[in-house]
Structure 1
C-alpha cells in the first residue's frame, strides 16, 4: 500500500466500510477503485470518499457495514485508592508466560506498575494508532506506530521517556485496566495486580472520525472509537500472540448500545472466532447501562393492537439515535407523534427503505431493515437531528396472531445521551452492550465486594435471542488501580470487572497452556470453567439476567479444572 492510499485510512475525507464478504465478486467490483485493507480471508475495510456516504448509508452499505461508535465502560474513578477487595488463591501461580492484551485508550508505560523487578517493562509491544509514521506501522495494518519492548526499555532509561516514545494514555482508562489485570505490586498504595507476571500487549485506539460521529449523533468531547479500528487492534493482538507463541487473554472495555443485542455484528463474530483458538480467552465488559432509562421492552398481547412508548426529549438536545428491534416472527409498524400530538411519520416493515422527514429545523431519518441474520428480526434505526423538546410518542403496531409481539428500543449509551432524554417506562434488562451479547465471548458484569450487591448500573441480560448473558459477575467497584502520573486511584465499572477477570484468566492459561496440562483451552472451555466454579446463592435460579452463572470464584477454579481434566 502506497503513502497516498495509507493516508485515506486516517483521513477525515474518507469513510470506513466493514466488509465480511470480500471474496464475493460483486463486492470486489463495487469497491474496485477504492483502497481496501484485507484483515483476514473474509474481512476487509474499504475507504471511500465521504461524499459517497448518503443519508441512507445503513441501507446503502448494509446494517453491519457502517462501523459502530464504541465508548468506555469504566463508570468513574476516585482520587484515592480504596482498601484492596481482591483476594484470590490460584496455587501461587502468577500469569507467567501469558500475554494480556487491551484495545483501549493506551497505557502510561512509565508507571511503575508496568515494570518488572529489574525495572524493565512488562509490555511486549504497543501499537499506537494515533502516531503517524512512514514505516513503523504493524505489518498489514498500515497506520499508526508500533513500539517493541526493547524500544520501551530504551525510553525508560531516559530522563524524559516520552521524547523517545511519545505514546501515552491521556484518559487513564487503559492504564487502569492493564494495571488491575497484571500490575506490579505496590504495598504503599495497597495495590496488586491479579496476574503480576503476565506480560502486556497494548493497542491505543485512534478517535472516531468526525463524519461517523455526525452520522451516529455522538457529541464532541466524549471518547469514541470506531468498530473497525477495534477489530484491527484485536487482529494485532492475535498476530503478536502467534509471533511470540504465547497464550493470550484479550479484554475489551469498550462497548456500543446501538447494536443488534444478539451478538451478530461482524466484529462480534470475528472476536468469537479468535476466541475459539487454543490458547486464547476473549473477554468483554457487560456495560453500565442498567438503570440509565435508555431501554424499553414491549410485548403486545391478547387483543391489543399497539403499545405506546413515551420518550422524553431534553431541552436543547442536539439529537438522538434509537435502535428498534422487533422479535421474529412478527413484523411491526411504528407511528411517531410529536410532543404537540401532531403525527410525524409512519415506518412500515419494508426492507431497505429509508424514510426522511423535515419538520422546521428538525430532521428525522429512519432506516428500515428486515431479514438481517438473526432469524429475520426487524430493525429500524432512527436518527433525529435538532429534535423538538418534550414527550414524544412511538406507537408500535404488531402483526396480529396468537404469538407474542415482543420488541425493544435502545437509545445510545448513557455516555452519549443528552441529560434529560430517557424513556418514561424503561426496562433494565437486555441492556448488555456489544460485543458482549455474543455467546462465544465471556461477558463480565460488575458487583461490589463490600456490599455483595450487583452494581446499580451494571448491564443485565439475557440477549434478544434469550441466550444467557452475562456469563459471570466479578469485582468492579472501588478497585485499586494504577492511574496517570504514577498515581493510584479507585476505579469502578464493568470494564474494571472485565480487567479483573482477565487477570484470573491468565492464571488459567498458565496452568493449562504454559505448564502443559491442557493445551486445548480456549474461550468456550474457560467460560465453562468459570460458570461451573462460580459462587451461587441457594435461593436464586441460574443462569439469570443479573448475575449470569454467579460470582467469579478464583479459589475454586483450579479444583474445577482438575475435575475437568480428571487429575
Structure 2
C-alpha cells in the first residue's frame, strides 16, 4: 500500500493499520523519494538514513517523528515496505545453452561477469561455488540476518569478503568464521541454476554460467530466518550488488526470485521504480521471477456497471492469523464495499468518505483503508486487513459485496496474498488467471521470467500471467524451464526443484554469457540492460499457432543459440538482418 500524504490520512493511523508498531518510540522503516539533503532531514528527526541513490533512500524512524517527515520539502513521497516471499516449486539443452557453452562454438562460461543472487543465502561450502583449488567464487556475501558488521552505509547485517570465506573454507569449522547459513536452501538452488560449476557431480551437473563470479545477499533482518522479506531489504540488496560490481569493475546480472501481490501490479510503486532506476545504472541487468500465482486463485477482476452489485466469494483456510486483500480501481469510479463473515455477520456498506474503518466479525478485526491517487499512480487502492483477535481468522466462506454507485469505467482488480503466504486453500471461488504476475516482476525495465515445462513444450500452469489490458505494459518478457529442475542443494549434492524461482536464473545466467561475449570479449560494448532484453525477445522460440507477444509466454521460450546468432549477425552487418 502506498503511503498517502498527511492531508489525506493521519500518519499514525496508517502505520498502525499496516504494521504491528504500537508505540511512538517504536522504530519502523519507510522508503522515500527525495531531493536535496536527506541526511540533514534524518539528523533533524533522529532517523538512520541509508541512501540508495540520489533520489531514493530508506529511513529508520520512530513512529512519533514520522508525521514530521512530511513537513520537509526534501521529501517528495513516502512508501511503507511490503512483505515478499520466494517461489519454489536436460534444461540447458532445451534452452539451447549447452551449445553456446561448448569450446567448439562460442565457448562462453560467464568468465569476467558477476552474478548477484538476492535470495535466502547460499551454501558457500558447496563445491559448485568453489574454484578448482578450493577457493570460493563468491566475491562478497552480505547476510542481512547476522548482526555485527554491516556494509558501509547500511544499518544491519554482516558483510563477508572472499578472503574471509576462503579462510572459513580452509578451516575445520567454517561457520565459526563465516556464520551465514542458507536455512531454506532456496538461494542455493537458484545460484546453482545460474552459476553452479558441477565440481561435486560425477555427471558434471553445471549451471548456465559456471565461471561467473558471485555476489550474494541473504535477505532478512537481524535474527530472522523466515521465508518472508521486505521490499526495503531487496532495495538495499540491489544497491549493494550494483555498488560492489562497480567496485570490482565487473558487469553484473542480478536475480530476484521473490515477489508479492501487495500493490497495483503496474510498475508504479517506489519499490518498482527504484529497481527500474538501478537497471539503468552501470553495466547491469536484472531478472525477476514472475511468481507461481497462475493457478493459485488469488486474483479476481470484473467490470462493474452503474448500479450493479458483484458478490465476490473467497475462502479462508485454517490457521491463518493475518490476511490482506488489496483492491485497485479507477479513482473516478465510486464503489462501496461490504464484508460478510462465514456466520453471516456483515460490516454493512462501507462508505468511501471514511478513510479508515474498523469492524470485528467472528472475533476477527477487519480494517478497511480507502486510499487516494498520488503523483505516482492515478488509481485508487482499497486495502482490507483481516486479523484474528484471540485466535486465527475464522475459516470458511467469506464474501465481499461490491456496489457500483457512480461508474464511468467500472474495472476493478483484487489480490490476496501469494501462494507461499496463505496456500492454495485461501482463494477466490471465481478467480481470474490473467494479471497474476507478482511484484517486482511488474517493474518496467527488469526481465520478467515465466516458467514452462521444457520436456512437454507447454506452459507451466502455475506461472504468473500478464494482462491484455495495457498493450504497452505486457509481462512476462519470456519463459524458461521451471519444472523438475536439477540444481544444487544446501548441505551438498543436488535435488530437483519446480517453480519460476528456478526459471529466472536460466535467463540470469544466459545474460551473463551474453555480457561475457559482448563486454569482456569486446564484441558488443553496449550489451547490457535493455539491449539484452531486446535480443532475448528476438531470439526467443515461439510455439506455433499462438499470437506473440502474449500474457502467458511473453515473446516465447528462452533460446540462447538463436539470440547469440542474431547478435553475431547484427554486429557483423550493422543491423541488416538477412
Cα 1:544/1:496, change in 2 over 3 Å: same
Q: Which residue of 1 aligns with 2:264?
A: 260
Q: Report the Cα offset of residue 30 of structure 1.
A: 11
Deviations 1:357-388 (A, max 9, x none): 23452211111112134551111110011244
C-alpha distance in 2 between matches for 1:365 and 1:24: 36
C-alpha distance in 2 between matches for 1:236 and 1:121: 19
Q: Report the Cα offset of residue 355 of structure 1.
A: 1.4
Q: Report the Cα offset of residue 392 of structure 1.
A: 2.1
Q: In the alignment, does 2:232 pair up with 1:228?
A: yes
Is the contact between residue 437 and residue 463 of structure 1 (CA under 8 Å) also seen in structure 2?
no
Q: Which residue of 2 aligns with 1:362?
A: 364
Cα 1:464/1:274, change in 2 over 3 Å: farther
C-alpha distance in 2 between matches for 1:415 and 1:178: 20
SS at match of 1:273: helix
Selected match of 1:173 from 186, 194, 197: 186
C-alpha distance in 1 between matches for 2:189 and 2:28: 32
Q: Which residue of 1 aligns with 2:125?
A: 110
Q: Which residue of 1 aligns with 2:54?
A: 41
Is the contact between residue 480 and residue 491 of structure 1 (CA under 8 Å) also seen in structure 2?
yes
SS at match of 1:289: coil
SS at match of 2:202: helix
TM-score, normalised with respect to structure 2: 0.85
C-alpha distance in 1 between matches for 2:468 and 2:355: 26
Q: Report the Cα offset of residue 16 of structure 1.
A: 1.1
104-113 vs 333-342, which moves further: 333-342
Matched ranges for 1:395-544 at <5 A? 395-398=401-404, 400=406, 403-417=408-422, 420-462=425-467, 465-466=470-471, 467-544=473-550
Is the contact between residue 32 and residue 76 of structure 2 (CA under 8 Å) also seen in structure 1?
no
Selected match of 1:204 from 211, 214, 218: 218
Q: Report the Cα offset of residue 518 of structure 1.
A: 2.3
Cα 1:314/1:160, change in 2 over 3 Å: closer
SS at match of 1:415: helix
Q: Which residue of 1 aligns with 2:165?
A: 152
Q: In the alignment, does 2:566 pair up with 1:553?
A: no
SS at match of 2:244: helix
C-alpha distance in 2 between matches for 1:63 and 1:381: 19
SS at match of 1:518: coil
SS at match of 1:477: coil
Q: Which residue of 2 aligns with 1:5?
A: none
Q: Report the Cα offset of residue 340 of structure 1.
A: 4.0
C-alpha distance in 1 between matches for 2:469 and 2:384: 19
Cα 1:64/1:179, change in 2 over 3 Å: farther
Q: Report the Cα offset of residue 207 of structure 1.
A: 4.2
CA root-mean-square deviation: 2.9
Unaligned runs of 5+ in 1: 1-11, 55-60, 76-80, 211-220
446-455 vs 201-210, which moves further: 201-210
Deviations 1:194-219 (A, max 9, x none): 01111100011124899xxxxxxxxx
Q: Report the Cα offset of residue 338 of structure 1.
A: 2.9
Q: In the alignment, does 2:124 pair up with 1:121?
A: no
Deviations 1:227-247 (A, max 9, x none): 111111111001001101110
555-564 vs 17-26, which moves further: 17-26
Cα 1:329/1:505, change in 2 over 3 Å: farther
C-alpha distance in 2 between matches for 1:177 and 1:87: 19
468-477 vs 264-273, which moves further: 264-273
Q: Report the Cα offset of residue 258 of structure 1.
A: 1.0
Paired residues in the alignment total: 531
Is the contact between residue 106 and residue 205 of structure 1 (CA under 8 Å) also seen in structure 2?
yes
Q: Report the Cα offset of residue 84 of structure 1.
A: 8.0
Unaligned runs of 5+ in 2: 1-24, 68-74, 101-105
Q: Which residue of 2 aligns with 1:6?
A: none
C-alpha distance in 1 between matches for 2:347 and 2:113: 57
C-alpha distance in 2 between matches for 1:82 and 1:179: 13
Selected match of 2:325 from 317, 322, 325: 322
Q: Report the Cα offset of residue 14 of structure 1.
A: 2.1
Is the contact between residue 450 and residue 504 of structure 2 (CA under 8 Å) also seen in structure 1?
yes
527-536 vs 178-187, which moves further: 178-187
C-alpha distance in 2 between matches for 1:62 and 1:380: 23
Q: Report the Cα offset of residue 270 of structure 1.
A: 1.1
187-196 vs 249-258, which moves further: 187-196
Cα 1:151/1:317, change in 2 over 3 Å: closer
Matched ranges for 1:126-141 at <5 A? 126-133=141-148, 136-141=149-154
Q: Which has the higher contact order (CA 8 A, sep 6+)?
A: 1
Q: Which residue of 1 aligns with 2:208?
A: 194
